[in-house]
Amino acid sequence: MILSIVLTILIGALVGWLAGMFMKSKHGFWMNCLLGIVGAALGGWCANLLHIGGGLIVQLIISVLGTCLLIFIVRLIMGKKF
């Protein structure tokens, strides 16, 4: 249970950091974790709707794309400062 939570946070941080690099987003570690976790869920949901799946690499790509989509949506709502 604890290991699963720690792995989710670490993978979320990695995915959030990668998406932040692609989107040139300027926020801290904890926001990266939050965006990475929520973005991965959003990407997984979208991929499930499109019947896209695969191994670990495909899932990481989907997670990064979902996080980029989330950053884009948040920027639309909050403006360019995010």
Angle between helices 2-23 and 56-78 (to 10 degrees): 60
Q: Output the CA–CA distances (angstroms, integers) from residue 64 to 1, 2, 9, 38, 81, in the order listed.
A: 24, 24, 14, 11, 21
Q: Output the CA–CA distances (angstroms, integers) from residue 80 to 32, 66, 67, 77, in the order listed.
A: 17, 19, 16, 9
Band the pLDDT of 82: cuts 50, 70, 90.
low
Domain that holds residue 55: 2-78
Enter the pTM of the model. 0.81
Place of tokens 């695969």: 54
**pLDDT at position 81, please?**
64
Ramachandran angles phi, psi of 26, nearest 5°: -115, 90
Per residue in 25-79, pLDDT tens? Answer: 877 777 888 888 898 888 888 888 988 878 878 888 888 999 999 888 888 888 7
